[in-house]
Amino acid sequence: MAPGVAYICVMSMPSVLSHRGKPASTAIPVLAHDVQGLGPPLVLIHPLGGDRRVWDPVLEPLSTERTVIAVDLPGFGESAPLTETPTPAALARALDRFLSGLGLDRAHVAGNSLGGWVALELALAGRARSVTAIAPAGLWRGPLAPKRSFGRIVAGAVLPILPLLSARAAGRRLLLGGVMVHPDLVPARAAAGIVRAYAKAPAFVATNNAMRARHFGGLDKIDVPVMLGWPDHDRVVSRPTRLPASIHSRVLIGCGHLPMWDAPDQVARILLDGSSG
């Protein structure tokens, strides 16, 4: 099979799906993804600099009740970049075309950080059945000034010694302590994968610039259920002081910006609750 690329042909949903292989020759956008589980489809969208494997800690509990599609956005993981500016709205359009090609129409969608923003864009466009956004980016009041990512610079610098660092709990705390409360609990291989994906994503800079130049102002225009999750130790994204009354929020206890490893049970629960309608 092509490295890490998965595909499915969906004739009807829900169904039992767990397959990896080469994508068929088609004009539909191809995005690397993994699929497993039984139940209504739930699409998982990773944060900026991440890939679909950030969801690994919650796949097992989710897949007993949902058909889970974890996807690499264009320019991240094993998916090719867009030819247009990778704004969150553009990423959402590409993801929508891809999901439509799989036979998925208005699936439940969930995302973390950038992924949460992309999920909200899908809902705003009428292309989601529900949204669960964990520490969503874009809810700041207006565009932000351009800023290089110091974390990505560091990630790139440590690549030569990444196996050594990730093999030790102290090294994992150094690498991931800015986005997790308990990085020492992350397995060494997974920790190295998180850092490597962050350092090597070809669309990181363009997507970061596009995000910072914009904000998401359409929460009050979304007409499907929206659940927002707020990690209580998030050092990256701040919770807005005001949200529309229709938006449901939940605090994730003992979690950093990437809460999947800190509290997979809480993350799985909010994803299931948010996609229960």
Give the pLDDT confidence of 59-105 residue by residue, as tens digits: 999 999 999 999 999 999 999 999 999 999 999 999 999 999 999 99
In a domain, residue 243? The reply is yes
Interstrand relation of 41-45 and 33-37 (parallel, antiparallel or unpaired): unpaired
34, 72, 96, 234: the catalytic one is 234
Judged against a pLDDT cut of 90, whether residue 107 lies above it is answered with yes
63, 79, 113, 166: the catalytic one is 113
In a domain, residue 22? The reply is no
Integer Cα distance of 243 and 13 in angstroms:
33
Residue 66's domain spans which residues? Answer: 33-146+203-274
In a domain, residue 53? The reply is yes
33, 46, 108, 257: the catalytic one is 257
- Name the CA radius of gyration of the chain, rounded: 17
Residues 6+ apart with CB under 8 A from 160: none
In a domain, residue 98? The reply is yes
The domain that contains 109 carries what CATH number? 3.40.50.1820
Predicted TM-score of the model (pTM):
0.90
In a domain, residue 55? The reply is yes
Residues 6+ apart with CB under 8 A from 245: none
Give burial (CB, 10 Å; 0-12/13-18/19+) of 51: buried
Instruction: Give the CA dihedral 194, 113, 3, 67, nearest 10 degrees.
Output: 120
Does the annotation count 265 as an active-site position?
no
Integer Cα distance of 197 and 127 in angstroms:
28
Does the annotation count 220 as an active-site position?
no
Judged against a pLDDT cut of 60, whether residue 172 lies above it is answered with yes
3-class state of residue 224 by DSSP = coil
Q: For residue 188, what is the enclosing H or E element? A: helix 188-200
In a domain, residue 28? The reply is no
In a domain, residue 233? The reply is yes
pLDDT in tens, 125-140: 999 999 999 999 999 9
Domain count across the chain: 1
In a domain, residue 72? The reply is yes
Judged against a pLDDT cut of 80, whether residue 207 lies above it is answered with yes
Integer Cα distance of 277 and 271 in angstroms:
11
Cβ proximity of 227 and 80 under 8 Å:
no
Interstrand relation of 226-231 and 108-112 (parallel, antiparallel or unpaired): unpaired
Does the annotation count 234 as an active-site position?
yes
Q: What is the pLDDT of residue 144?
A: 95
